[in-house]
Structure 1
């Protein structure tokens, strides 16, 4: 991987320090994948804990987390430095999507290491003003081999920019495979805690209007996770494939989150799924693709 490893101020199992001063910087974190975070996520999803010691695909999102000091956080709850660093003061962060290639399952009870760097940064002009797109790539290794390659797309928008309203529609017909997760304030808070995500739009109603939202925002990674769970629980294996997902509109307010297979179903070479708000708006889409 390009770049040089940063010194680790907290010891071999801790994170690196801020890395935004070097465009080629790599942040490293290593830890043992203890079972408790997986048990906690299973509890949040109201399913039984994983029985075989193998971490389900996408569940790595509750492991190897950056845990920055409180003094490093900005007014919105995100760190003001690190990987990625905001491109300027006051820029508002949005999670846009990503791609996860699961080469082999991660094994609980064994050490793992995550190496993270900024893959690309692009400036664009959108309907709401200047936009900065940042793609962050993480590689998670276990037993000397890369098990998961995770790329996440982050968008930074200008302060005061209004967000377009999500279109309403209709949830898909009941004959399509689906999952429904009842999202309330407690679940949003628990998912923020599990992923160590302090972004205030997910739990602080006094702050959401400042970011241009009418109510609490349902996490993009939660929607992506549920679409992946739709595949997994219907016997569609994510291992050896690339899971690509995109957030197309914010899901605003506590409500039932429905994820459903696309019209072609799940028994295809590249199955697709969508996430729906209670009003029937499509808020996220995903697709399983051949590994790169």
Structure 2
């Protein structure tokens, strides 16, 4: 394990209610968020943009590694592998917030498919000097796919859920979510790049968008104190997913039965 860079990144942003309402519309929900009301869990993903000039971007559209918090490990493919969130207090729409980000872990090791780089970021979000959200954000970096290598078999999802919802995705929703979160990752909107460079069957549904759906489903029953999630297989933009819950356990099941995400909550 190598030492993580000793650095932190601070940002401030006004939690604009209009942006939150735009996201509600994109999800097909009633846009009812006004200034002063609590934001739904994980809506802070819509804020704290960090735009970079074109020369500051990597080939995948993300900010180039090695120039900020994330070191360059020589691995071109980036994936949001999972995370853990603790909700200490609600973030309120229309109020100024500060986000403080640091690197918790940097590790490189050999996997079955080749070298892997792991980075964990810790974000803390404050309003009026009070800590509202702590988020651990897990990223994985890997080599380009080998077309001759056999595809890894994803895990099969449980089928014993107590509650389930179907959700559908298309390229328009993925584009709108990328725009609202200022996420330039080309696997979500550039089909040629996603298929020909990174080896996917289609546009990839954002991991945090799947997590957002799970959080919204769970929070309709009770306010969330904590949420943990791990991506286990990609979901394509043309696929229908099933959001599943059994007690404190949640998961996303693809149309062929594969598990795309697993999660747990504390209420």
* TM-score, normalised via structure 2 length: 0.89
> Relative to 1, partners in 2 of residues 1:168 and 1:26: Cα closer, same or farther, differing over 3 Å?
closer
SS at structure 1 position matched to 2:135: strand
Which region of structure 1 is more displaced relative to structure 2, 31-40 or 161-170? 161-170
Aligned counterpart for 2:23 among listed residues 23, 28, 41: 41
Q: 1:159 aligns with which of 131, 140, 144?
A: 144
* Aligned residue number for residue 278 of structure 1: 255
Q: Deviations over 1:105-129 (max 9, x none)?
A: 0011111000111111112211110
Partner of 2:69: 83
- Following TM superposition, by how much is the alpha carbon of 1:212 offset from its aligned partner in structure 2, in angstroms? 2.0
- Indicate whether 1:30 and 2:9 are aligned: no
Q: CA deviation at 1:215?
A: 1.4
Instruction: Say whether residues 1:180 and 2:166 are aligned partners.
Output: yes
Moved more, 145-154 or 68-77: 68-77
Partner residue in 2 for 1:95: 80
- For residues 170 and 198 of structure 1, the distance between their equivalents in structure 2, rounded to whole angstroms, comes to 30
Alpha-carbon distance in 2 for matches of 1:167, 1:246: 13
Tell me the equivalent position of 1:127.
112
4+ residue segments displaced more than 6 Å: none
Aligned residues: 257
1-structure distance, mates of 2:155, 2:120: 29
Q: Does 1:199 align with 2:199?
A: no
CA contact (8 A) 1:255 1:278 kept: yes
1:256 and 1:24 map into 2 onto residues whose CA distance is 42
Does the 8 Å CA contact 1:188/1:219 hold for their aligned counterparts?
A: yes
Gaps of 5+ in 2: none
Aligned twin of 1:7: none
Superposition RMSD in Å = 2.1
SS at match of 1:56: coil
Report the Cα distance in structure 1 between the residues aligned to 2:166 and 2:25, rounded to whole angstroms.
15
Deviates more, 1:177-186 or 1:78-87: 78-87
Distance in 2 between the 1:132 and 1:287 partners?
25
- Listed as ranges, the matches of 1:1-292 within 5 Å are 23-51=5-33, 53-80=37-64, 81-88=67-74, 90-161=75-146, 164-167=151-154, 172=159, 176-208=162-194, 209-233=196-220, 235-238=221-224, 241-261=225-245, 265-266=246-247, 271-289=248-266
Mind listing any 5+ residue stretches in structure 1 that lack a counterpart? 1-21
Instruction: Give 1:45 shift.
Output: 1.2
User: 2-side partners of 1:66 and 1:190: how far apart?
Assistant: 17
